[in-house]
Structure 1
């Protein structure tokens, strides 16, 4: 009871310290110095701003909230166009009216991660001296991202989450939510992710970071003061991330196409928005967020045994993997599923046969969509949420 009372007092403090604003189509919630974010390295970060987007409506008993956690290259605009860049929603097949995460049924929240560059406090934000943090921004972890999201959720008046879902880095956040807040998360869907960053993903992330830092315009992280951007280095970092998101067959196809054109590079710009990415994404944010993903190892905090991270929790889990994903291979997801079962959790593992690599979760995958819908509907029935549209 004493712990619950402390949590309630903290939630009231966070709510009182928060202020919602909107500018340029980006909604933010700011916390003043009375509600600092406690970081894993022992530092406090204040003031703190979290940019977020919501879809659908909160039901009467506030039990239908879904938190979508985004990956390395995405932002909070999961189901609507980005008003800053004009880019379309990045997960419209999954989030929206009539979709697996039906915004007629659920109140959906998606926040730009801590350290991000779409409105949330990060390296490009102004420090107390009114200059960008740059490399003075404190080191961050996935757990710090989740604690910032928890502050947002509490300030929005939501005590429990029906579902936390994410892919890649977003899946890491979802797992951390289920481990750190087991009584606040009813269901968790982890997609094409892992409980520890795979070595090949670390290697490609390091390649991207080195490319950024080797760009003369990086200026030791102080490029903003010089009015320049390390665009070439950031473009290479994006390319490395995109290559990792292809399947082996996809990589070979592009190499062969480049050879036929007698080119020394192949086209990785799947979305056709390469220039837009370099313009909208802060290079230092890439350094901080990718390093946070690379340092994620959920078992390390639990004696090296992953099952211990979920021991005693009541969260329902679904783990999804794609057969051709070599950024987060299916064996990583199977390891996670085994640990969840060993912990006594209610867990299911679904492997989708797809040639689309890691990015399969973003495209048309009927088998994945059907399995995800089944998991969500089953969890909704268990929580006695309406299977029909409209708040209940």
Structure 2
């Protein structure tokens, strides 16, 4: 068993036990508020078929008799279906948009029937690398196929069928969730009233692919990756160092240089001396990144991280539709397009490209002003709430 020295040092600093081989939800774990839908075999965009697909999901509110009040919420890379609600048994983190979703909130669950699924390829109950491969009783691991955003939306459409949702009044998503929101508009225009496309792009750029590929390489380079077949290893084994490094790299793209400098500057972590010749003392910003890495390895799966990041790399709404600009120009679903002005992962120019190319279906570009960079789509609640309202109003027409 390989135990990475850096990983062990980080665990010691936080006084936490060694993480399990995977932070994925596994059969036999507490279900919490999850429900499950078996949506059948799925033909994949890049070839092959994924058998016996299952999606984990949550719902809030009640579906109207005419089905007119359904709303789909799409999570980002390391999110899940737990959009709103406390952390607790079965749910390692509290809802990631719970300030915006719930009774009397921007997305009022007393009015709307809200659906959120753990994305196909994810690790919180949906079919993904940590899930059992049909007919084997073992995790998919290295045998799990490549997925695209189009595959993920195709699976969600089948979930909608099972829930009796013919048409979503709105699909709301940011970051990777914004990709799925835009794909819904392109692939299922008759089933979407309006879509919020927030802090994302229409096709991944070289810069985004480069940053995300470096994260994938960090995971694959960890000896604990074991070719992708690590899920049944004991606690403390698995690609924790690689996944932690990937999270550190990613987090630097989620925030801004200005914010990090304002918060941490060159200050030392309390009780540590990064200038000492006797030990590896840390700067405060290093401690911050270590903390986020440590949290992720306890609640996420490295295989899902690779699968979903790869799907983000291949993302292009124009794939099979005559190119990106042609696909955007052909969009008939009303779009609310917004970007964060300080976002260095999905710069505002990416949102502007969508808004301009989609033309008459977009009422201009909306700008979220934030010092927090990409994470502004999760933090700037007072600015996101009006975007919800605008999208819901368009979709309810």
RMSD, aligned α-carbons: 2.4
1:283 equivalent in alignment to 2:288: no
Change in Cα spacing, 1:22 to 1:149, as seen in structure 2 (3 Å) is farther
Change in Cα spacing, 1:379 to 1:153, as seen in structure 2 (3 Å) is closer
The structure 2 residue matched to 1:118, chosen from 94, 109, 124, is 124
1:240 equivalent in alignment to 2:259: no
| 1:273-311 Cα distance to aligned partner (Å, 9 max, x none) | 643321221101100000001110112432224243452
1:340 equivalent in alignment to 2:358: yes
Task: Provide the C-alpha distance between the structure 1 equivalents of 2:55 and 2:329, rounded to a whole number of angstroms.
Answer: 28
TM-score by length of 2: 0.83
Does the aligned pair in 2 maintain the 1:193–1:333 contact within 8 Å? yes
- Structure 2 match to 1:67: 72
Does the aligned pair in 2 maintain the 1:302–1:309 contact within 8 Å? no
Bigger shift: residues 244-253 or 185-194: 244-253
- Which stretches of structure 1, 4 residues or longer, exceed 4 Å deviation after superposition? 258-261, 267-274
For 1:154-303, what aligned pairs fall within 5 Å after superposition?
Answer: 154-227=161-234, 228-253=237-262, 256-258=265-267, 262=274, 263=282, 266-267=285-286, 269=288, 274-303=293-322
Change in Cα spacing, 1:184 to 1:232, as seen in structure 2 (3 Å) is same
**Aligned to 2:252, what secondary structure does the other structure show?**
helix
- Structure 2 match to 1:47: 52
1:359 equivalent in alignment to 2:366: no
Post-superposition shift, 1:87? 1.6
**Aligned to 1:109, what secondary structure does the other structure show?**
strand
1:142 equivalent in alignment to 2:161: no
Post-superposition shift, 1:352? 2.1
Task: Provide the C-alpha distance between the structure 1 equivalents of 2:231 and 2:390, rounded to a whole number of angstroms.
Answer: 47
TM-score by length of 1: 0.84
Task: Provide the C-alpha distance between the structure 2 equivalents of 1:295 and 1:163, rounded to a whole number of angstroms.
Answer: 25
Change in Cα spacing, 1:57 to 1:257, as seen in structure 2 (3 Å) is farther
- Structure 2 match to 1:14: none
Compare relative contact order (CA 8 Å, sep 6+) and give the higher one, 1 or 2: 2
Aligned residues: 356
Give 5+ residue unaligned stretches, structure 2: 1-27, 275-281
Does the aligned pair in 1 maintain the 2:92–2:299 contact within 8 Å? no
Post-superposition shift, 1:189? 0.3
Task: Provide the C-alpha distance between the structure 2 equivalents of 1:279 and 1:149, rounded to a whole number of angstroms.
Answer: 27
Task: Provide the C-alpha distance between the structure 2 equivalents of 1:316 and 1:179, rounded to a whole number of angstroms.
Answer: 11
Bigger shift: residues 274-283 or 49-58: 274-283
